[in-house]
């Protein structure tokens, strides 16, 4: 993406708004915009600091002034790109800064202290000790107080970061797992109260754990208070949504905009009788996309972010950010304006709540992914964390095909995260696995991209002879032939199948495969996330169809209720639960002893002389190098130690083998079937 000779958005709020007509305007260079942004910022500065002096002690005002100077510019430039053509741009910026100062004034003392520590260690979320756990509060422990009572369990797993799935008030009935929010300012009463959330955050902080919460910035439920006011005829809130009186524009958009749920929610528009209009609904018909070309939407969401942060949330997971901006004739994904929105929110929130970071949920192609971490034509600070979707997809590809060549090519193409940012790495999540295999990457290793994507979907649905997996197809799209995958990690890794056959060899392989996948995610470099239930190898929830709120969305098969009885078996030596739980806890423990896994610094896949081995190397500028070796095959393998060029130089040890020296047999490093080594200097 380049901003030079960039384009101007014309007639944003006027009749042509929906068309988002772009006119090339070569006079609007980055330099011009920067000048506009700086001037607006300079003119707002005195009033901002005056207001700050009224709500903050003197030393805090100094700190806020420094943050205003540093982060204000990060925000003002993208805001100028987004809204700079409006006559009221300066007033808008001044107003947004007032919002920020007020939030700084309201920030509780304990959180300000946390901010100060994090300003000293801004890479706090990238530390090697970080391990995340993700769960639905209700499915894990009933409600938020229930979650508090389970924190010891999480500590057993070495967890330092808790992501609670959507917990704000959601619509009744089908709610897309809580992603159909009716009130951004209220915890869902089924889970507890705002006070419960604040108490949980406080206790997490006391335990040196961070809290991550979802903010759905792309859409609201059709029953959200904003949507209700729009339906009641309030033009202010009607302008929050993208509405169309007839099908002409929706049809024009549909020609280029993909469908997210082709099976269960085809199309991107839904008729609203109340509004007598088609409403943009990227996801389900009950989720209305917000119109971010309206600065009032930007401002309203900024307030939501600041209030959420002030309740003690450390990481805001910003949902579906790829879709934030729409433009006719495009896919309406990953547009420059979507990035500017994130950059602007990030800059502004940093001024008030500097200890809070953004995590982008952008499940997009490898070339687009790193942009959400701020890597564009050059760096523009954006989100600090983003999901490493490619690593997840490629890990499953490797174990299905018992071949590391495609992952090596695909992962090598991915640009490194900019300094101060990192990946969240994971084996699976609450969503389906979309088989993001790039055609060009596949062709490089002589594979047909389409055929491989189809192979993976069918393999993980257990439809291919010899498949060890017992997942299901998700969103089979007859038009494109693409299909995705649902299923718990254990079911996809072979445990369900092995348990059904009772074959101890298959069972051992499945346990090893599950641990191997986690050892890749924990050792790649990034913040690894563990999904609830995977630590005890829970299988698919076969009862998901009984829940009417699940609709016909089979992602619910991998969102089970926690099986605490099975969790008890983690203490029974030799049980599957014990092996998996202990194996995953040991990975967290190994990370703590391995500063090479501090997530700063690049990770690169490495070619070895054995295509059954996925190898990677991370080079931390201060803490040194780690070499990962994963044998994705169910037979023993080895790699030439000299090819890797490390053994002679380092005399290395294997962190995952209790720091024992890496064995070398006739010049080769042996790798037992489905095993991983983390090789470091002694
Ligand atoms: C994100 C969530 C997914 C949800 C969608 C719409 O992709 O991860 O679960 O369906 O957003 O909110």
Atom of ligand 1 nearest to the CA of 283: 6
Kindly give the distance from the C-alpha atom of residue 407 to the centroid of ligand 1, in angstroms, as a whole number. 26
Is the pLDDT at 22 greater than 80? The verdict is: no
Q: Kindly report the protein residue whose alpha carbon is nearest to atom 7 of ligand 1.
A: 320
Q: Kindly report the protein residue whose alpha carbon is nearest to atom 11 of ligand 1.
A: 320
Is the pLDDT at 159 greater than 60? The verdict is: yes
Share of the chain above pLDDT 70, in %: 95
Atom of ligand 1 nearest to the CA of 431: 9
Q: Is 186 exposed, middle or buried (0-12, 13-18, 19+ CB in 10 A)?
A: middle
Is the pLDDT at 646 greater than 80? The verdict is: no
Is the pLDDT at 4 greater than 90? The verdict is: no
* Overall average pLDDT of the 373-388 stretch: 95
Q: Which of 319, 403, 534, 634 is catalytic?
A: 319
Q: How far is CA 354 from CA 50, 113, 114, 351, 597, in A?
A: 20, 11, 9, 6, 24
Task: Give pLDDT, residue 311.
Answer: 98
- Out of 176, 268, 323, 553, mutate this one to test ligand 1's pocket (max ligand atoms within 8 Å of CB): namely 176
Which residues make beta-bridge pairs with 215? Answer: 318
* Overall average pLDDT of the 572-589 stretch: 98
* Overall average pLDDT of the 42-62 stretch: 96
Tokens, residue 77: 């430039």
Write out pLDDT tens, residues 407-454: 999 999 999 999 999 999 999 999 999 999 999 999 999 999 999 999
Give the confidence band of 480 by pLDDT, cuts at 50, 70, 90: confident
Write out pLDDT tens, residues 311-329: 999 999 999 999 999 999 9
Q: Which residues of 401-438 are buried (b: 16+ CB within 10 A; e: fewer)?
A: bebbbbbbbbbeebebbbebbbbbbbbbbbbbbbbbbb
Give the confidence band of 648 by pLDDT, cuts at 50, 70, 90: low
Q: Which 8-state DSSP code applies to residue 362?
A: -
Q: Is 349 exposed, middle or buried (0-12, 13-18, 19+ CB in 10 A)?
A: buried
Atom of ligand 1 nearest to the CA of 179: 12
Task: Give pLDDT, residue 1.
Answer: 27
Give the global pTM: 0.94
Atom of ligand 1 nearest to the CA of 430: 9
* Alpha helices for 554-595 (secondary structure H): 564-568, 576-592
* Overall average pLDDT of the 350-362 stretch: 98
Please count the helices (runs of H) and the strands (runs of E) in the chain. 25, 27
List own/partner pairs for 477-481 with CB under 8 A and 24 or more apart.
477/259, 477/262, 477/263, 479/262, 480/262, 481/450, 481/454
Task: Give pLDDT, residue 427.
Answer: 98
* Overall average pLDDT of the 57-74 stretch: 96
Is the pLDDT at 15 greater than 60? The verdict is: no
Q: Is 172 exposed, middle or buried (0-12, 13-18, 19+ CB in 10 A)?
A: exposed
Give ligand 1 pocket residues (Cβ under 6 A): 176-177, 179, 216, 283, 319-320, 361, 430-431
* Overall average pLDDT of the 560-584 stretch: 98
3-state secondary structure 232-301: CCCHHHHCCECEECCCHHHHHHHCCCCCCECCCECCCEEEECCCCEEEECCCCCCEEEECCCCHHHHHHH
Write out pLDDT tens, residues 248-284: 999 999 999 999 888 788 899 999 999 999 999 999 9
Please say whether the beta carbons of 103 and 353 come within 8 A: yes
- Out of 431, 434, 475, 558, mutate this one to test ligand 1's pocket (max ligand atoms within 8 Å of CB): namely 431
Q: Could you confirm whether 361 is annotated as catalytic?
A: yes
Task: Give pLDDT, residue 11.
Answer: 28
Task: Give pLDDT, residue 373.
Answer: 97
Is the pLDDT at 17 greater than 70? The verdict is: no
Q: Which 8-state DSSP code applies to residue 163?
A: E
Task: Give pLDDT, residue 263.
Answer: 79
Task: Give pLDDT, residue 5.
Answer: 28
Q: Kindly report the protein residue whose alpha carbon is nearest to atom 3 of ligand 1.
A: 431
Give the confidence band of 495 by pLDDT, cuts at 50, 70, 90: very high
- Domain 603-680 superfamily per CATH: Golgi alpha-mannosidase II (2.60.40.1180)
Q: CA 539: distance to chain centroid?
A: 23
Give the confidence band of 650 by pLDDT, cuts at 50, 70, 90: confident
* Overall average pLDDT of the 627-651 stretch: 87
Lowest mean pLDDT among 338-342, 473-477, 571-575, 580-584: 473-477
Give the confidence band of 24 by pLDDT, cuts at 50, 70, 90: very low
* Overall average pLDDT of the 464-490 stretch: 93
Atom of ligand 1 nearest to the CA of 261: 10
Task: Give pLDDT, residue 208.
Answer: 97
* Mean pLDDT for the chain overall: 93
Q: Which 8-state DSSP code applies to residue 365?
A: -
Task: Give pLDDT, residue 19.
Answer: 35
Kindly give the distance from the C-alpha atom of residue 561 to the centroid of ligand 1, in angstroms, as a whole number. 19
Pairwise CA distance, residues 671 & 227, whole Å? 57
Share of the chain above pLDDT 90, in %: 89
Task: Give pLDDT, residue 647.
Answer: 61
Kindly give the distance from the C-alpha atom of residue 179 to the centroid of ligand 1, in angstroms, as a whole number. 6
Task: Give pLDDT, residue 365.
Answer: 83
Q: Which of 175, 361, 382, 384 is catalytic?
A: 361
Question: H/E element holding 546?
Answer: none
Kindly give the distance from the C-alpha atom of residue 319 to the centroid of ligand 1, in angstroms, as a whole number. 7
Is the pLDDT at 30 greater than 90? The verdict is: no
Who has greater pLDDT, 18 or 138? 138
Half-sphere exposure of 166 (CA within 13 A, CB side): 23
Tokens, residue 211: 């809290």
Dihedral sign, CA of 182, 185, 187, 190? Answer: negative
Please say whether the beta carbons of 494 and 655 come within 8 A: no
């Amino acid at each position: 993406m380049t901003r030079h000779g960039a384009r101007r958005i014309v007639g944003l709020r006027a009749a042509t708004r929906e068309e988002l007509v772009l006119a090339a305007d070569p006079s609007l260079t980055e330099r011009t915009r920067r000048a506009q942004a700086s001037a607006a910022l300079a003119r707002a500065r005195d009033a901002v600091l005056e207001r700050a002096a009224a709500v903050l002690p003197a030393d805090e005002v100094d700190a806020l002034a420094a943050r205003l100077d540093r982060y204000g510019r990060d925000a003002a430039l993208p805001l100028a790109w987004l809204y700079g053509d409006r006559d009221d741009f300066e007033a808008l910026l001044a107003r947004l800064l007032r919002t920020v100062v007020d939030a700084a004034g309201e920030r509780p003392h304990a959180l300000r202290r946390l901010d100060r520590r994090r300003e000293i260690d801004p890479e706090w979320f990238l530390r090697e000790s970080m391990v995340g756990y993700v769960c639905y509060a209700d499915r894990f422990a009933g409600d938020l107080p229930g979650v508090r009572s389970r924190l010891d369990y999480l500590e057993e797993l070495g967890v330092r970061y808790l992501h609670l799935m959507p917990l704000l008030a959601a619509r009744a009935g089908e709610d897309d797992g809580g992603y159909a929010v009716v009130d951004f300012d209220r915890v869902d009463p089924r889970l507890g109260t705002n006070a419960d959330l604040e108490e949980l955050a406080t206790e997490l902080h006391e335990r040196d754990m961070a809290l991550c919460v979802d903010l759905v910035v792309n859409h609201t439920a059709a029953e959200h208070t904003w949507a209700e006011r729009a339906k009641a005829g309030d033009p202010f809130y009607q302008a929050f949504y993208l509405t169309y009186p007839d099908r002409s524009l929706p049809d024009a958009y549909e020609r280029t905009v993909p469908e997210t749920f082709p099976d269960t929610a085809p199309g991107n528009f839904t008729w609203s009788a109340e509004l007598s209009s088609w409403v943009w609904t990227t996801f389900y018909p009950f989720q209305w996309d917000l119109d971010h070309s309206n600065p009032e939407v930007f401002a309203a969401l900024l307030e939501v972010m600041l209030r959420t942060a002030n309740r003690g949330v450390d990481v805001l997971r910003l949902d579906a950010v790829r879709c934030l901006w729409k433009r006719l004739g495009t896919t309406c994904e990953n547009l420059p304006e979507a990035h500017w929105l994130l950059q602007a929110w990030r800059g502004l929130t940093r001024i008030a709540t500097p200890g809070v970071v953004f995590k982008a949920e952008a499940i997009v192609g490898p070339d687009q992914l790193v942009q959400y971490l701020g890597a564009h034509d050059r760096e523009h600070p954006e989100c600090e964390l983003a999901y490493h979707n490619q690593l997840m997809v490629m890990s499953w590809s490797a174990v299905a095909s018992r071949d590391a060549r495609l992952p090596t090519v695909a992962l090598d193409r991915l640009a490194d995260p900019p300094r101060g940012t990192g990946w969240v790495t994971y084996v699976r999540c609450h969503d389906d696995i979309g088989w993001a295999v790039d055609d060009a990457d596949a062709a490089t290793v002589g594979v047909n991209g389409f055929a491989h994507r189809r192979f993976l979907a069918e393999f993980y649905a257990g439809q291919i002879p010899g498949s060890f997996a017992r997942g299901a197809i998700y969103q089979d799209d007859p038009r494109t032939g693409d299909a995705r995958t649902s299923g718990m990690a254990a079911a996809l890794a072979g445990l369900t199948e092995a348990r059904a056959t009772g074959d101890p060899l298959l069972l051992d392989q499945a346990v090893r495969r599950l641990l191997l996948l986690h050892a890749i995610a924990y050792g790649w470099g990034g913040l690894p996330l563990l999904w609830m239930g995977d630590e005890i190898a829970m299988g698919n929830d076969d009862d998901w169809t009984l829940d009417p709120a699940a609709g016909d969305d089979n992602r619910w098969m991998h969102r089970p209720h926690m099986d605490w009885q099975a969790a008890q078996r983690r203490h029974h030596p030799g049980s599957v639960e014990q092996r998996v739980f202990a194996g995953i806890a040991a990975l967290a423990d190994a990370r703590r002893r391995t500063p090479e896994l501090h997530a700063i610094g690049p990770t690169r896949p490495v070619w070895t002389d054995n295509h059954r081995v996925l190898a990677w190397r991370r080079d931390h500028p201060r803490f040194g190098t780690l070499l990962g070796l994963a044998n994705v095959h169910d037979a023993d393998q080895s790699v030439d130690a000299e090819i890797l060029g490390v053994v002679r130089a380092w005399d290395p040890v294997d962190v995952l083998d209790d720091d024992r020296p890496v064995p070398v047999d006739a010049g080769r490093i042996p790798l037992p079937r489905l095993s991983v080594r983390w090789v470091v200097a002694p």
